[in-house]
Amino acid sequence: MSDPRKLFIKTYGCQMNVYDSERMAEALGPSGYVTTDTPDDADMILLNTCHIREKAAEKVYSELGRLKALKADKPDLKIGVAGCVAQAEGAEILRRQPSVDLVVGPQSYHRLPDLEARARKGEAALDTDFPEEDKFDKLADRPKAKRGPTAFLTVQEGCDKFCAFCVVPYTRGAEVSRPAARLIAEAEDLVARGVAEITLLGQNVNAYHGTGPDGGEWGLARLIRRLAEIDGLERIRFTTSHPNDMEDDLIAAHGDCPKLMPYLHLPVQSGSDRVLKAMNRKHTAAQYVALIDRIRAARPDLLLSGDFIVGFPGETDQDFEDTMELVRTVGYGQAYSFKYSPRPGTPAAERKGQVPAEVASDRLQRLQALLTEQQKARQDAMVGQEVGVLFEKPGRLDGQLVGKSDHLHAVHALAPADLIGKVARVRIVESAPNSLKGALI
């Protein structure tokens, strides 16, 4: 029996890419590949790319330039580009970087074994179509190996919102929801292999409307309630959501489904109605705040996370102050904030009124200072509280374990190793900049 080939995958971007990378590795398993943690001894290197941030393509080409030298020393090495940059750039990648052997979009990676076989024959292998068949139907069953205590599960892909700044509708396609029966089966399989917490993923995960086992349409709340019936599944999370898809039954689930954790990532992007309209968000700041009030009424201990873009074309000082006021009104336990970066092919990239870089940088610093202040206040308020912690791995100190709280705070505590993969009650005794210290109860 020949030695297995080694596969190295470098993953950029969001949690959905993490999930996709796992499935790519599984798809190539029957072709004789096992994963490796270093590119130096790999027989194939895959870059699973993200196209959200500025200069994403340039960063990929820079990485490919470094890998070119590795391929010069190892001619049989195969290099592939997958994900959203692959979808956006397509054949241009093969033209600009001849060392690349295959290019595959995020909706076509179930075809990786065929593309790999073509690459081994010396053929240029390119697939960036939006196939009619469901890629998840074509992927092999997931291997039965033991898993860590947390896992991602993609339930929905694509986006129909067409926010003016975003490339996702062009790289991931229209919104598609996976059938609930397949998701239940995959979740049951993950739990059987040691997973205690599952995060449901989608570009607009709360737009999930899949076919249920009964033949009817299921929303995300119904799927969550069914997954909560799985013995051994301790926790459920979901990300990323759009405010316009937060339906009543999903709000109710935050209050009546104990396994659904009190953490919600709900991007707003701006606090200015004028900017929100220019972004094509189709909601106002007041509607967003009212929605948060309803969700917090259902789950008072909810920790809220969000996304913000500053320096969107035409953003004025008053628009930015409206964003700051929204942040003060809502109060975030965690948030991600960025300077606007034009994405080729999006409506906003062609707009006049681009905000000077130095102005956008100043606004970002001010916003991040406020968000950091709120995050610290939320963490400090946890001291003295009792929380559940799912321990995931050993910590840096002897006898220490590290895990995540119900609210997704990183927590470390002295605890026996047999608690890895289990939820334990912990009292928070100290707040650090990026973590909490706890003591077992």
Strand 436-440 relative to strand 410-414: parallel, antiparallel, unpaired? parallel
| Residue 276 burial (CB count, 10 A) | 24
- Residue with token string 């593309």: 115
Output the six-digit token pair for 370.
């406020």
Residues 392 and 150 sit within 8 Å (Cβ to Cβ): yes
Q: Which residues pair with 440 in a beta bridge?
A: 426
- Whether residue 50 is annotated as binding a ligand: the answer is yes
Taking each helix axis as running N to C, give the angle between helix 248-256 and helix 285-298, from 0 to 180 degrees, rounded to the nearest 10.
30
Kindly write down the DSSP assignment for every residue of 187-239, as one continuous string.
HHHHHHTT--EEEEE-TTGGG-EEEPTTSSEEEHHHHHHHHTTSTT--EEEEE
Report whether 87 contacts 67 (CB < 8 A). Answer: no
DSSP structural state of residue 344: T
Amino acid type, 431: S
Question: Under 8 Å CB-to-CB from 33, ≥6 apart: which residues?
Answer: 4, 5, 6, 7, 25, 43, 44
Containing H/E element for 137? helix 135-138
Residue type, 14: C
Return the ∠ at Cα 261 (arms to 206 and 379), rounded to 5°.
115
Question: Residue 257 annotated as binding?
Answer: no
Binding site as annotated, residues for [4Fe-4S] cluster: 14, 50, 84, 159, 163, 166
Binding site as annotated, residues: 14, 50, 84, 159, 163, 166
